[in-house]
Amino acid sequence: MDEKILCIEDNPDNMILIRRVLQARGYRLVEAETGLEGLSLAEDREIRLILLDINLPDVDGYEVARRLRTDLNHRAERVPIIAITANALKGDAEKALEAGCDVYMAKPINIHELWARVAFFLPRT
Amino acid sequence: MDFSRVGKNTSTFTSPNFLSLLKCAGCGMEFDPWRIHTFCPTCQSPLLAEYDLESARAKLDRDSFRYRRTGMWRWYELLPVNDPAHIVTLGEGDCPLLRLVRITREWNLPYVFVKDESANPTGTFKARGLSAAVSKAGELGIHRVIIPTAGNAGGAMAAYAARAGLDALIYFPKDTPRANIEESRIAGAKVILVDGLISDAAGVAGETARREGWFDLSTFKEPYRVEGKKIMGYELAEAFQWELPDVIIYPTGGGTGLVGMWKAFREMEALGWLRNAKKPRMVSVQAEGCAPVVKAFESGAAFCDFWTGAHTLATGLRVPKSFADQLILKYLRESGGTAVVVSDESILRAQQVLCRKEGIFAAPEGAATLAALEELVRRKWVRPDERVVLFNTGSGLKYLDHSNGPENGPAPR
């Protein structure tokens, strides 16, 4: 299975969990700790799906999604985005979807749901 | 509290309860129930308490429970607190099961009942779960409890924490009914209002819990609230002479009661207490403005999408996504049940009907079950000879800022 998933997440514990869970299902992960690094990797690599944290140290996840969706020349412009966040601000789900994310998931991340969400976009043959 | 000497039953029990382990509902991993746990660290699913039902079957006499002092804790052996000295009770449980008379005559449904949970301390069913969770937290040496809540769970936690001498911190959405905020403050809890929904409150509370070392009693983020709620199932079985009703209509926010009752039915089956294997068809009721379970149920999904823009006057139903969504959906399907959406208008109308025709001033969430029954009758999903139980989860008195009864108007039809 060569589908590459870009995970943009600054919390190392969450990154470890996501890596472990997705690698167990045979997915390959590309990792970024900041929004700008994520945007750059999405441009450079063949990415099929993005897992996007919202609270990031430089540009936040909303901005990452917005930039991806509005830059028609960006390689990842049409790549599905799953927002995964523990944001505690009003309407964070609405904001994530408005910014261009396809799905919103709240932390703590339920791995059965994560597997199902990822498999929806990257079905296993 | 010495249950061995309560009531007419003179037989004593020396063993504590039959709690044997905690098991992850997602991956099956097992945990020691004598240590502090939240949810599964591996797959992040809820943990459920398991009991040694084989031993319990040999030692417990189902017919003896009715002779004990009334209340939820008479089912002590099947609840998670090991030492009765740690039980924190305000007399919760054993709420009335009322047969509806006038409404059912008009609707030609003679066997419709309301389990009226408004009789609980703090006026809602939340008392059951919080009695169990606060008791167990005390037993495990926890001194500070925190909760994000749509309203009633906050009031209940404040009361039980006060009785147990625990510090309590509560995060409410800003537009929570005033009764919930006031009762919590009066009970000594620290109250913080959040601009958003319960999901937003959960985010802030979770962060505070991690940062400051509070124990989080959020729905299904600890294993014991559901244990208190499950006793509703035991009470129903006992009331119906150990033959479960045909249909249970339940308002679903976090879904603890629904999951808890289904767990109770399975436990009773393993205990050999039920007269037959037939279990109720479980019906989940949600409001039009926040119906993630209904949407997922209808689409065949295994989990819910986060419901955006959630709004309904039934604040207890304003839960954009339950932490136990997968369990709720699984049990609805397993039971052959369904999920029904009702409008706020139909909830208010049902609230008036229940009060004017039966004298039950139900919470909007409870009234929603009558609105759902009306819809299920229209769909012919419920047969006239079936025994149906509606759950009124709380008192309408806690929602006076949302009620809009007509002044001296005619009884609604």
Please name the residue of chain A whose CA is at the shortest distance from the CA of residue B221.
Answer: A108
How far away is chain A from the Cα of B393, in angstroms, using its nearest Cα? 27
Burial class (CB in 10 A: 0-12, 13-18, 19+), A9: buried
Cβ B326–A112 below 8 Å, yes or no? yes
User: Which stretches of A4-57 are DSSP H helices?
Assistant: 12-24, 35-44
Which residues, 6+ apart, have CB-to-CB distance to B393 below 8 Å? B117, B118, B124, B125, B152, B251, B257, B316, B363, B365, B366
Cα–Cα distances in angstroms (integers) from residue A76 to residues A23, A38, A45, B87, B301, in the given order: 22, 11, 9, 56, 28
Question: Considering only residues 122 to 151 of chain B, which have any Cβ-Cβ distance to chain A shorter than 8 Å?
Answer: none
Burial class (CB in 10 A: 0-12, 13-18, 19+), B12: exposed
Beta bridge partners of B21: B50
Q: Mapping DSSP to helix (H, G, I), strand (E, B) and coil, where does residue B253 land?
A: coil
Cα–Cα distances in angstroms (integers) from residue B255 to residues B72, B208, B320, in the given order: 19, 24, 12
Q: Closest Cα partner for B284 from B220, B336, B244, B236?
A: B336
Q: What is the pLDDT of residue B204?
A: 87
CA B379 from chain centre, in angstroms, equals 27
On chain B, the residues whose CB falls within 8 A of the CB of A113 are 303, 326
Q: Mapping DSSP to helix (H, G, I), strand (E, B) and coil, where does residue A66 land?
A: helix
Please name the residue of chain B whose CA is at the shortest distance from the CA of residue A85.
Answer: B203
Cβ A86–B305 below 8 Å, yes or no? no
Helix, strand, coil percentages in chain A from 3-state DSSP, rounded to 5? 40, 20, 40
On chain A, the residues whose CB falls within 8 A of the CB of B200 are 88-92
Q: What is the pLDDT of residue B3?
A: 38
How far away is chain B from the Cα of A44, in angstroms, using its nearest Cα? 31
Mean pLDDT, 10 residues at a time, chain A of 125 residues? 84 92 93 95 93 92 93 80 77 89 91 94 82
- Asked if the C-beta of A13 comes within 8 angstroms of chain B's C-beta atoms, the answer is no
For the entire predicted model, the pTM comes to 0.90
Q: What is the pLDDT of residue B402?
A: 64
Cβ A111–B303 below 8 Å, yes or no? no
> Exposure string (b/e) for B255-276, b if CB count within 10 Å is 16 or more?
bbbbbbbbbbbbbbeebebbee
Q: Closest Cα partner for B188 from B206, B173, B170?
A: B170
DSSP B260-312: HHHHHHHHHHHHT-SSSS--PEEEEEEETTB-HHHHHHHHT-SSPPPPTT---
DSSP strand pairing (B338-342 vs B281-287): parallel
Ramachandran bin of A71, using left for φ above 0, alpha for ψ from -120 to 50, beta for the remaining angles: beta
Measure the CA angle with vertex B321, ends A56 and B327; round to 5°: 120
DSSP B210-240: HHHTPEE--TTTSSSHHHHHHHHHHHHHHHT
- Where do we find the tokens 């979807």? A97
Q: What is the ipTM of this complex?
A: 0.80
- Smallest Cβ–Cβ distance between A97 and the set B42, B195, B308 belongs to B308
Would you say B117 and B365 are in contact if contact means Cβ atoms under 8 Å apart?
Answer: no
Q: What is the pLDDT of residue B12?
A: 43
- Asked if the C-beta of A19 comes within 8 angstroms of chain B's C-beta atoms, the answer is no
On chain B, the residues whose CB falls within 8 A of the CB of A105 are 306
- Asked if the C-beta of A24 comes within 8 angstroms of chain B's C-beta atoms, the answer is no
Mean pLDDT, 10 residues at a time, chain B of 413 residues? 35 67 97 96 95 96 95 97 95 97 92 98 97 97 95 96 98 92 97 87 88 94 97 98 98 97 98 96 98 98 93 93 96 98 98 97 98 97 97 95 58 49
- Asked if the C-beta of A87 comes within 8 angstroms of chain B's C-beta atoms, the answer is yes
- Smallest Cβ–Cβ distance between B204 and the set A88, A104, A106 belongs to A88
Would you say B41 and A16 are in contact if contact means Cβ atoms under 8 Å apart?
Answer: no
Question: Considering only residues 182 to 201 of chain B, which have any Cβ-Cβ distance to chain A shorter than 8 Å?
Answer: 194-197, 199-200
**DSSP letter (8 states) at residue A27:** -
What is d(CA B93, CA B227) in angstroms, rounded to the nearest whole number?
12
Please name the residue of chain B whose CA is at the shortest distance from the CA of residue A97.
Answer: B308
Cβ B44–A108 below 8 Å, yes or no? yes
- Asked if the C-beta of A14 comes within 8 angstroms of chain B's C-beta atoms, the answer is no
Rounded to 10 degrees, the C-alpha dihedral B221/B288/B387/B94 comes to 40
Cα–Cα distances in angstroms (integers) from residue B98 to residues A29, A81, B298, in the given order: 57, 50, 31
Q: Mapping DSSP to helix (H, G, I), strand (E, B) and coil, where does residue B368 land?
A: helix
On chain A, the residues whose CB falls within 8 A of the CB of B309 are 94
- Asked if the C-beta of A71 comes within 8 angstroms of chain B's C-beta atoms, the answer is no
Cβ A94–B308 below 8 Å, yes or no? yes
- Smallest Cβ–Cβ distance between A86 and the set B45, B194, B203 belongs to B203
Please name the residue of chain A whose CA is at the shortest distance from the CA of residue B148.
Answer: A88
Would you say A41 and A55 are in contact if contact means Cβ atoms under 8 Å apart?
Answer: no
Cβ A90–B44 below 8 Å, yes or no? no
Select the residue from B200, B208, B318 to test the A interface by mutation, using most A Cβ atoms within 10 A: B200
Beta bridge partners of B11: none
Tokens of A13: 């514990």
Select the residue from B44, B303, B318 to test the A interface by mutation, using most A Cβ atoms within 10 A: B44
Cβ A109–B44 below 8 Å, yes or no? yes
DSSP strand pairing (B97-99 vs B112-116): antiparallel
Cβ A88–B26 below 8 Å, yes or no? no
Cβ A111–B42 below 8 Å, yes or no? yes
